[in-house]
Amino acid sequence: MAQIDGGAIEIREWVIHDIPQNFRHGDREELQLSEAISPSDPEVARFFEQKISESFSKSCHPILAKDDAEVPDDIEDHLRGNVDLLQLSVSLAQRLYGSQTAAMSAGLLVAMKGQYRDSEPMLAVLKLEKEKGARAEQEERDGKSTYTVQYLKDLFLTNRTRVFKVGIFTLADGALSAWITDPQSRGGVAQFFLENFLQCQLARDPRATTEAFHASAEAFINTEVPDPALRARYENAILTELHRNTTEVNLPDFAKGNLEVNDRDRFRTFMRERGVDEVFVKDTSDIKSKINRIQYEFQAGVKVNVPTESRDTVNITELENGLTELRVEDSLNKVRSRGA
Amino acid sequence: MTASAEAIRQARNRFSEERDAYEAAGEGIAAEIALASRRHGITCRATSRAKSVASFVGKCWRKGYEAPWEQVTDKVGVRVICDVATDIELLAALIHEKYQVTADEDKTQALVDADKVGYAGRHLQVVIPGIVGGECEIQVRTAAMDLWSDMSHRLVYKPNVDIDKATRRALVRLQTLTEIFDEEVSRAMKQIASDPANLYVDLIGFASEIFYRHNESEIDSQLSKFVLGEIGPTIGIPPAEYGTQLEAFGARFESKLSSIFQRYQGNFESILLHQPESIIIFERIENATLSIEATWPESLPRNELQMLANIWGANLGD
């Protein structure tokens, strides 16, 4: 499944439901759901589109319906025109309220209807938390100009909001496609929103996507980067990224943080052409042994194996005569013969 | 053959009835040419005017037309005034591309051939779509040619006025001056275009060609020049070569661009979105995302880049 194009999302109408905190063992608040679609406002629609697009550009995972899942079926029914937006949103709100635990904060559920790539029916489901803020307004008091400040407790989705989750469902050529973004977690996808609420699962196996990233990134280094010192630096960066204590890899972030400006877009294109996702959930269990050592292989047959944790003891330099120098600064432990 | 009063009366009545339609058609053609020329990066002004009924009748009598309705071919005219004489050829080609041209005459050459004093542009006769048998004369000329034309119609071609040799000689000198004026304008324009500071001005033309396919907004050309002067050096591709790349981008993302400009019509949160340079920024965001992110000039607001990236759906990285 291709990555979603955030620029091709068009929002047309939406319904917002307030979802209070669910105290299972205490007083349970009455669920008061919206009874009508929100008034349409093109400026608000464009704002929602930009926020969703920004969110998907930072974290985007294709997802699939779980076996016998009701929610994706209901959404598909809506996309086929059998269930209206309000009716669907009410059932989604009830489901969200019913399945969330007391540990989860209150928030808003927004169901948005629109189209994708000019023709495909689309539904976006957003879970947002209310925010607080202040608004300053200039006014005249006793003939003098001053500012009054209003404290707002019911803001949501401000320009800096990062706390929200979005699922997008489209119907292309009769089949349901779906993606999820969860920039809040920056380390995978909130299990509750994906699995309990939307009843979906990641479409790609994180072990396979991580292996594809590793193999393709090394292929880029060995075929597209002639400078040996730069190759060594990039290889280090790949291993550091894979060893980092995060569960998501974001290619543009990786490129910006580790590659020279001229290599960044080339790297991205190279990876895209090999089908590596821009953002993926990281799982190194299939490549653990590969990323524990770095091997430097020279033309004359010399191979140097360096444990990842000792890679700082090795220094690579390109010499003026075009050859490469590998220097190891350490105490020599032992020397031994070894067969081919 | 002499004009028949009855034929002229019938033609006059018909023209009185249909004049509004000719006027509207002329305005439409002027607007189309103005838009197409902007897309091709040609600076010009296009105006239209339907002949007055009195002028229509006067011409019929003066020329002695026996089939006045058919023979008066300039019932409505469009005048296109360009900055540089060399643009006349480009505009004529553009008109040939857009309309069915039934006649095309280089008026300066025609005047020379007729041993007359003159400095004119190109006159093209085109079929007006939607009006049966309707035609429109499009005159393409420079501002200097226009000046000469106005003056000459009042002095040189005034009916029943004979011009003595000395006056004729003075008029030839005037004509030469207007020709020199145009040559100097062309030379100055070339000089400006070759100045490195204006190297990226061509990019505005390339971008405008795509921009106006999707947008009718009035643009701020000074802002375009400033923005492209800042972004241009970061593109790293010669302007002419980049023009081809931009055209390919415009064709590939025709539908996406159209949808974006339609949705954001009247939404001025982003200023650059309503400028032709937005096409270049979108192209960079699509094809060189991390380069434009790294080289975005400090003189331009960064939130504009972020907003355009969000509108396009691109990840600039954190």
CA distance B314 to A276: 16
With contacts defined as CB-CB under 8 Å, which chain B residues touch A262? Answer: 291
Q: What is the pLDDT of residue A24?
A: 59
Q: Encode pLDDT of A73-113 as tens digits.
A: 999 999 999 999 999 999 999 998 887 777 777 888 999 99
Q: Which residues of B touch A58 (CB under 8 A)?
A: 315, 318
A322 Rama class: left (phi>0) / alpha (psi -120 to 50) / beta: left
- The radius of gyration of chain A from alpha carbons, rounded to an integer in Å, stands at 26
How many Cα atoms within 13 Å fall on the side-chain side of residue A195? 7
The ipTM of this complex is 0.80
The answer for residues whose C-beta is within 8 angstroms of residue B272's C-beta and 6 or more apart is: B227, B278, B281, B304, B308
Which residues from chain A sit within 8 angstroms of residue B291, using beta carbons?
261-262, 264-265
Each residue's pLDDT tens digit, A49-68: 998 998 898 888 999 999 98
Cα A164 to the center of its chain, rounded Å: 12
Confidence class of residue A26 from pLDDT cuts 50, 70 and 90?
low
**Window 235-264 of B, Cβ < 8 Å to A:** 255-256, 259-260, 263-264
Q: Is the pLDDT of residue A340 over 90?
A: no
Q: Which helix (H) or strand (E) holds A296?
A: strand A293-297
Instruction: Give the per-residue pLDDT at A235.
Output: 93
Q: What does the block give as tokens for B58? A: 């006067």
A 276-315 residues inside an 8 A Cβ radius of B: 278-279
CA distance B75 to B79: 13
Average pLDDT, chain A: 88
Residue B221 pLDDT: 86
The first and second tokens of residue B217, run together, are 């907004």
Q: Is the pLDDT assigned to residue A187 strictly greater than 60?
A: no
Identify the band that residue B120 occupies on the pLDDT scale cut at 50, 70 and 90. confident
User: CB A7 to CB B256 under 8 A?
Assistant: yes
Percent of chain B with pLDDT over 90: 42
Phi, psi (degrees; rounded to nearest 5) at B289: -50, -50
Each residue of B197-235: pLDDT tens digit?
A: 576 777 888 899 899 999 888 889 889 988 988 898 889
Tell me the count of A-B CB pairs closer than 8 A.
88
B50-104 tens-digit pLDDT: 999 999 999 888 888 888 888 888 889 999 999 888 889 999 999 999 999 999 9
Q: Alpha-carbon distance B293 to B288, whole Å? A: 9
CB–CB contact B293 A256 (8 Å): yes
Residue B12 pLDDT > 60, yes or no? yes
Which pLDDT does position B171 carry in this prediction? 79
Predicted confidence band at A183 (pLDDT cuts at 50, 70, 90)? low
**In the block, residue with structure tokens 């060609």:** B209
Q: Characterise A127 by phi-psi region: left (phi > 0), alpha (psi -120 to 50), beta (else).
A: beta
The mean pLDDT of chain B is 86
Q: How far, in Å, are A41, A127, A178, A181 from residue A157 at the CA level?
A: 16, 10, 22, 15
Give the residue-averaged pLDDT of A232-243: 92
CA angle A87, A89, A92 (to 5 degrees): 115
Mean pLDDT, residues B122-139: 84
- Report pLDDT digits (tens) over A143-153: 899 988 888 87
User: Which of B267, B270, B291, B310 is the best substitution to test chain A (most A C-beta atoms within 10 A)?
Assistant: B310
Name the closest residue on chain A to residue B284, using Cα atoms: A265
Contact B317 A253 (CB under 8 A): yes
What number of CA atoms fall less than 13 Å from residue A248's CA on the CB side? 20
Split at pLDDT 50, 70, 90, the class of B252 is very high
**End-to-end Cα separation, chain A, in angstroms:** 44
0.80 surpassed by pTM: no
**pLDDT recorded at residue A184:** 57
B307 inside 8 A of chain A by CB:
yes
Q: What is the pLDDT of residue B196?
A: 62
What residues pair up with A327 in beta bridges, in sequence order?
A315
Q: Which of B27, B47, B45, B35 is nearest to B143 (CA)?
A: B45
